[in-house]
Structure 1
Amino acid sequence: AALPEVLPLLLSCLSASEIEVSQCTMAFLHAYVGRLRKLLPSREQLAAHADHLQQLLLVMARKSVHPEDYCFDAEDEAEEAFNSYRREMATLFKGISRLHASLAQLFVRSMLSSTLDSLASVPWGHVEVSLWLLYQLGEGLPEAAIRDKGGVFSTMMTSLLASPASAHHHQAVQLLYFEILVRYYRFFLVQPEYLHTALSSFLDGRGLRNPNPVVRQRVCYLILRFVKLTLKVATSHFLAAVSTLTLPLATPPADEPPGLLPSGISPSPPSP
Structure 2
Amino acid sequence: MYTLYLDRDSFLHKLDPRVKIIGSFLGIIAFILFNSPSLLFVLFLTIVLTLVLIGKIHIREIFTVLKPLIPIAIVAMIIWPFILKPWYFGLFIGAGYGIRLLSVALLTLGLIMTTSQKDLVLGFIRMGMPYEIGLTLTIALRYIPTLYMLTQTIMDAQKSRGLELEKGNFFQRARNTVPVLIPLIVASIKTAHELSIALESRAFGASKRRTFLYDIKMEMKDYISFGVLIVLFLFALYVRYYLEIGYVKLF
- What TM-score bracket applies, with the shorter chain setting the length? under 0.3
Q: What TM-score do you get using the length of structure 1 for normalisation?
A: 0.26
* Structure with greater contact order relative to length (CA < 8 Å, sep ≥ 6): 2
Q: What TM-score do you get using the length of structure 2 for normalisation?
A: 0.28
